[in-house]
Each structure stands twice: as C-alpha cells, then as structure tokens.
Structure 1
Amino acid sequence: MKVVSENIAMAPLKPLSRAVTGAIRTNQKASVSTRSRSSVLTNAQIRPKRKADFSPVKENVKRSAMGDITNNKKFDDKKKATLKQPAKKTIVQVKTLPSVRTVLKPKQNENVLPPQAPCLNGVVTRAAVKNVTTGQTAVKPKEALKEISNPRIKTRLSNEFEKTEESLYSSALEELSSGAKAKTPPSDEKSPNLSVVSIVAQQLQNKLNLGIHEVPEGVPDFDKENWDDVHQVSHYAMDIFNYMKSREPQFEIADYMDRQVCLTSWMRSLLVDWMVEVQESFELNHETLYLGVKLVDFYLSRMTVGKETLQLVGAASMFIASKYDERIPPAINDFLYICDGAYTCRELVRMEINILKVCDFNLGIPISYRFLRRYARCAKITMPVLTLARFILEYSLMDYATVTVRDSKLASASLYLALKMKKISGWTTALEFYSGYKLEDFKEVVILLNDGLHKKPKSPLMTVRNKYSHKIFFEVAKIPLISNEELFV
C-alpha cells in the first residue's frame, strides 16, 4: 500500500519496482516480457511459468476438418466395425433432372444429345440419359452444348442454378456470346440511390472542407512534395486530420474530480506515472500510452470508481489500447503480473468490458500525439525540437488541468513552447496553416503547460523526467525553462 495523501491509502500503483525497470533498461532477462521476448522469467521463484506450460500432453488425435468432431473412442470403434462390413448394393432409380427438358418432337437444327454419348467435350454431365424413343427426346440446354474455348474454365453444371427457359436463375460463370451485348441504362436516367449518395458525399465534403487545400504563398506544400510516397498518404492526409479535429467534440472530458468521492488529482497523477512506466517496460508505442490515458479519463468522467479499483482501470485501459495500436500486444497475464497480483483475470476482463461499453466501443479517439507528429512533419521541425515537444506533451498527461483541453490545441501549444525554449522561432505561417490555429487560440494552453514544467518535481512522479533525461532523447528534460513573459516576445 502506498500513502498518496494525508491519511489516505491507495492500491499499489507501482508494484513494478525501480530495480526491475533498471534491469530492463540494461537488457537483462529478468524482467517482464516484451513484444520481442517470451513472458517466462529465468527465475522461477520471482514469477512461475504460465499454466499453459504445465498443461498435460494431449493425445495425438487426428480428425478431418469437415468430418467427425466427437472424439469419442466408442464411436470410432463402431465406425471401424461398420467399415469392415461389405457395402450393400443398392439400385438407384434414375430420375430426370430439372436441367433436362422433355419435348414431344425435336425441332429442326436442335442439338440432340446422342443416347450413347455420356460426356460432352470431356466434361461428364450430371443428367443421366434415358432410353430415347421416337416420341421422347432428351435435349440439353444450348449453353451446355457450347464448345469450351478455354479448357481451364469449366462451365457450371449445377442443375439448380443453370439457366434454362423455364428457370429464372443464371449461372455465375456463364459466358456471353459474341453477338450478345450488355444492356446499359440510358444516360438520361439516374438511379435514386446514386443521387442520395452524391448528396451525402457533398454534405460531407462541405462539412470537412474536403479537397480545398490552397497552400498560401511562402508555405511549403508538404503533401505535394511527398505525393508519390504511399506511406505519407498525401492525397488525403489533410482531410484525415480535418476529420479528426471534427471528432474532438465527441470526446471532450468535463471536470469530473468533484464527483469522484474516493479519488484525488494526486491519485490520478500517480496512476499516469505508473502507466508511463508500463509503456516503457513493455516497449509499447506512444500512441498506446496516450489512448490508455484518454480511456481512463473518459471512464472516470462517467463512472464513480473507488481507490482500490483505480489501478485496475489503468491496466484495463492500457490492455485495450495495446490491442488497438500494437502489432503484437502483451498477453493478459503480463498485465496481471505488473499489478502485483492485486486483481484476477476475471476482474480485468470485466473491467475491460465495462470500459468498452462506456466508450461505446469507439476507440478512434483523436489523441494529441498524432497531431504533434503531423504539425512537426509539415513544418519540417528537427528531431531535438520534436523530442522536446514530446516531453512537454507527455509530462502534461499527469497534470489534471489539461484534461479538459482539446488534443489538437495541446499539440500546438507543446510545439510552440518547444520552439520558444530552443529559441528558434515562433508560430510560423506554415504551422498556422497545417494546424488551423492562430497563436491567440491556444495562448492560455501554452501558459498552462509552462506552469506545469515550473512546478517542483516530486519523487513519485519522476518517470517521465528520467525517461527524457537519457541521451537517446537528447536529454531534453535538462533544457533550461523560460518564464511566461518570454513566451510571447
């Protein structure tokens, strides 16, 4: 148990000790599993093997995919006994199939099937030929008597779906004759469904401003420069982010901490710090972390949660986010392990179902990290400046004051603050065009993020600072801060 405030105890939010994470960072094989390694630890005393490793060896029971699925030994014995008995000879009465039409007299120039010809062009027909008399002639349809130009293409011989004069069904592999032409609707007539689709498409285009991207003078056209790069999706990248910005009002989060009787903003900060450590230990994508934190706030804004289940909400949110964003998400046993056995598998699955129901199974939530990458890429920001903006944005996840701010504005404010801290430039016309925001639109958010950086760091919340103090991240956490007066000079 960790004391999170005065006389308030909370469920263990950080069972993953610093020693374990240090061993992970030094590439030792005594930590939790990652996407590239198995989940079994070398020390069985720390973490036993999974139940699947101790499962008994199954008998080598072979069965057909479409055959018997009972796996009953008695049934197999009876089946073998019946197979040994000689098969009884049965006489099947031949019936005239629907594809054979009966006429009284053969017409002139009619293709008549000879009585001694059981096959046609090497293709055996299903219809059995009866004894032909003078008053009754068995005639096959004209489509079945055509010569096959391509021997690889087989004609459909199903009697139920073969096209005849008496049937309305047509064969899926029917070939059009050389003289037949497909019927085309007149150019004057318009389908009513097509008109409805065009109206809806026009409304969507007007709403999202699709296809109208006139780049102002002096602004580099990033999408046009990467037009042939399929990974940049430059043809509709602008439309994608316009659509994401239009979806932000659906996921706005109100101030919910007053309705949470058992929770405080400090408890939420501890939970987010623990989630950052989980993301670093499992080597997850940053999008997974941001989506997990968003799911936590979205769930807490609509449901009342006790302090004993707060960590369960965080673990289930990261579990859902990893399934959505990761190529190989961690197993459920890994999330149970990082919770130090505080919850069972049933409890984690039940919480996962509850979170998905609350968010209505809608996981396409716009997150600030995606906006930040788009703005920095279009403005051709260098990697050290982008890493500093990522540090500011990730550090703001622990600040409860940023919950009510839209993600696109958070991304713009963090990038502007990074440019000012590096003393490079301000909010350029390129950033204004691609983000859709002017400096006055997120000026208050910049001050909010800068105030959060000036707060004295507390020892339980040092995961993000330690992460971005490494040389891999250009040690951006050690860059000197600036005052609010220097932000808009």
Structure 2
Amino acid sequence: MQKMLSSQHVLPPDLLSVKIKVKGVSMSFQKEDACNSLGIADIDSDSKDPQDCSQYAPEIYKHMLVTELDHRAPANYMETLQSDVTANMRGILIDWLIEVAEEYKLVPDTLYLTVNLIDRSLSQIYIEKQRLQLLGVTCMLIASKYEEILAPQVEEFCFITDNTYKREEVLKMERQVVDMMHFNLSVPTTKTFLRRFIQAAQTSYKDPCLELEYLANYLAELTLVEYDFIKFLPSLIAASAVFLARWTLNQSVHPWNPTLEHYTNYRAPELRSTVLALEDLQLNISRCPLNAIREKYRLQKVNYMLENSSCRQTPYTS
C-alpha cells in the first residue's frame, strides 16, 4: 500500500495554480493554459454535445465544487435530531424508492436529488417513523418535477404507498419541504460530478469504455442507501467511484493520473478512506440486505463484469 501511495502521479507545484479557501476547505485549480505542459488532456475542446456546455464547463464545475458545501446534510443529524427514525429505516426507505424510480423509469438525477432532499429535510425537522414514507415520496415528487420531462402525478405517488397517504397530505408535505429548502433545488449531487469525472477518465482509452461508465455509476449508487456516506462530499464519492472502477477493470496501471487529478481536484491519497469504504460496499462486507441497486444492475449487460469484480482489492489494500 505504501509503495502505491508513494508512486502517485502528483502534479508538480506550478506558478499558474490558483488556490482558494472556502469554509476551511482548501481548493486549487490549474489554469487551462498550463494543462498541456503537465500532461493533462483537454476534455472540452473536442466536445460535440451541446449539453456539455464545453465553453463554460470548467467554470461551472469549479462553482459546483464550492456550492456542494452548502447543500449537504450534517453527517450526524440522525443522532442529534431524529429519535424515532433510524439510519436503517432511512436505508430501507431509499432502497424502496430505488425500486419506485425503476418502476416509473426516472432518470438517475431524480434519484440522487430525492436522497439529497430527504437528508436535508431530516436534518432540519423531526419526523415520526409513520411519516417517513410520506417524506420520501414527497421528495421524489419534488425531484421529479425538477428533473423529469414528464413527472409522475401526485396520485401516482399516493398509489405506490397503497394509498396510505392522501393527496392533500403529500401536497402539504411538499410545501413544507420546498420552504425548508428555500426553493433551492439546484444541487450538485454525486451524479453531477460523476459525468464530468468519467469524461476525464475516458481520455485514457482509445475508444469509450462502457464498462467503466457502468461500474462507476453502480459503485456511486451503492452509497445512496448508506447513511455513513453522508460524511463524504458528493465530488469525493464520484472521484472515488471512478478510481475504484478503473482499478477493478485494470490493475496493470495506477488508476489515477494528472488528468483525473486536475478535473476532480483530488490527489490519490485524499481518496483513500472513501475508496476503502466504497470497496466494502462493492464486496458487500456487511452483507447488507438492501439489494435494490444490485438487482437493478443485474439487468444490465455488464452483469458478468459487476459480479466478477468482487475479488479484486484496491491499491490501498494491497
């Protein structure tokens, strides 16, 4: 492990490096004109997809690295505020919502935003366990309105709870949640960063590696049901998912490089604790019975690759 850590591709100090400090977190960004001399691939210059907003992407993601600090729940809210709801109940709720998202064919961004809204709500108001499912479907309703082209109707969310809650109850909870959020739903989630980081990782391949994309998304989604992962920033989880996916697929080269370090703003040693925690999820060390994500990805074409990745260890554990 120490041998691997000492051989990281760490970028040398550069006078063109820009450093800022936000809420005690130090961040540094390399100016674009320094990229070529440092062996960093430019992932925006050849983009043909207008949705990539390639002209503005560097500034957008730098802004997101700052704003993600403002839109996350405290890592200990379950212990300090909730007495009737437990971390296990939260996991069961999200595991069920993953199945709901699959049933209604919701985009991944909706699921990530739903979990973000649930955690931020639970960190601000006390919820009785009888109303936890109500909070969950309401947060998914809000996220659907924000992310989906055609969002499911309120009545459909009542139906999936076996009509445990009435339309009026869902709408009342909706008003309460958006008020708590101050109507700020533009939240950078793990999925937001994962798109960018996978794009940076793909520069290592001659042709796009679909296995990398599927595996990184699979690993990132495994964290949704785990309360312990709230302590990690979304960008950190996304970077760690890419690191672990690259190592799982190819152990002949180190999974981190100057391009990934530049675009994620993380050096390999900074990923260590998150990668190891993510590896435990990959191996299912705790034998977690919540399997909605695993079942979801068993339907994918990369099922064989996912199932046969469990015997591989990260460079941190070798």
TM-score by length of 1: 0.55
SS in 2 for 1:379: helix
Aligned length: 283
CA deviation profile, 1:51-100 (whole Å, cap 9, x unmatched): xxxxxxxxxxxxxxxxxxxxxxxxxxxxxxxxxxxxxxxxxxxxxxxxxx
Report the Cα offset of residue 440 of structure 1. Answer: 1.8
SS of structure 2 residue aligned to 1:409? helix
What's the counterpart of residue 293 of structure 2?
464
**Does structure 1 retain, via aligned residues, the 8 Å contact 2:216–2:242?**
yes
- 8 Å Cα contact 1:384-1:474 kept in structure 2: no
- Taking the aligned partners of 2:108 and 2:49, their CA distance within structure 1 comes to 24
- Is the radius of gyration larger for structure 1 or structure 2? 1
Match of 1:281 among 84, 98, 103: 103
Q: Which has the higher contact order (CA 8 A, sep 6+)?
A: 2
CA distance in 1, matches of 2:185, 2:191: 15
1:270-295 deviations in whole A, cap 9, x for unaligned?
A: 01101100110000000000000000
Amino acid paired to 1:439:
A
Question: What's 2:148 paired with?
Answer: 326
Q: Which amino acid aligns with 1:371?
A: F
- Please name the residue that 2:236 is paired with: 409
Q: CA deviation digits over 1:158-193, x for unaligned, max 9?
A: xxxxxxxxxxxxxxxxxxxxxxxxxxxxxxxxxxxx
Q: Which residue in the other structure is 1:361 paired with?
A: 183
Alignment deviations for residues 428-458 of structure 1 (CA, whole Å, 9 cap, x no partner): 1111111111112221111111122332444
For 1:216 and 1:253, the matched residues in 2 are separated by 38
* Partner Cα separation in structure 2 for residue 260 and residue 423 of structure 1: 43
Q: Equivalents in 2 of 1:297, 1:244: separation in Å?
A: 19
Aligned-partner SS, 1:231? helix
**Which of 441, 450, 455 is the aligned partner of 2:270?**
441
- Taking a change above 3 Å as real, the CA distance of residues 305 and 475 of structure 1, as seen in their structure-2 partners, is farther
TM-score (norm 2): 0.83
Q: Can you give the 5+ residue segments of structure 2 that lack an aligned partner in the other structure?
A: 1-19, 203-207
The aligned runs of 1:367-446 (5 Å cut-off) are 367-380=189-202, 382-424=209-251, 425=253, 426-446=255-275
Match of 2:285 in 1: 455
Contact persistence 2:272–2:316 (CA under 8 A): no
Q: Is the 8 A contact 1:421 1:482 kept in 2?
A: no
Does structure 1 conserve the Cα–Cα contact (< 8 Å) formed by 2:30 and 2:262?
Answer: no
**In 2, Cα distance between equivalents of 1:209 and 1:421:** 28
Deviation at 1:300, TM superposition (A): 0.3
Work out whether 1:234 is the aligned partner of 2:63. Answer: no
Name the SS for the 1:224 alignment partner. Answer: coil
Distance change in 2, residues 1:370/1:225 (3 Å): same
What is the percent sequence identity of the aligned residues? 29
Unaligned runs of 5+ in 1: 1-204
1:192-233 CA-to-partner distances (Å, cap 9, x unmatched) read: xxxxxxxxxxxxx9999999423243222111122x653332
Q: Which residue of 1 aligns with 2:43?
A: 222
Aligned partners of 2:72 and 2:116 also within 8 Å = no
Evaluate the alpha carbon distance shift between residue 350 and residue 232 of structure 1 in structure 2; reply closer, same or farther with a 3 A threshold. same
**CA separation in 2, counterparts of 1:452 and 1:206?**
32
Name the one with the larger helix percent: 2
Alignment of 1:29-108 (within 5 A): none
Query: Which structure 2 residues correspond to residues 8-407 of structure 1 after superposition, within 5 A?
Result: 212-214=31-33, 215-217=35-37, 218-226=39-47, 229-254=49-74, 255-258=76-79, 259-380=81-202, 382-407=209-234
CA-atom RMSD, angstroms? 2.3
The aligned amino acid for 1:404 is K
Q: Deviations over 1:405-442 (max 9, x none)?
A: 11000000111011111125411111111111111222
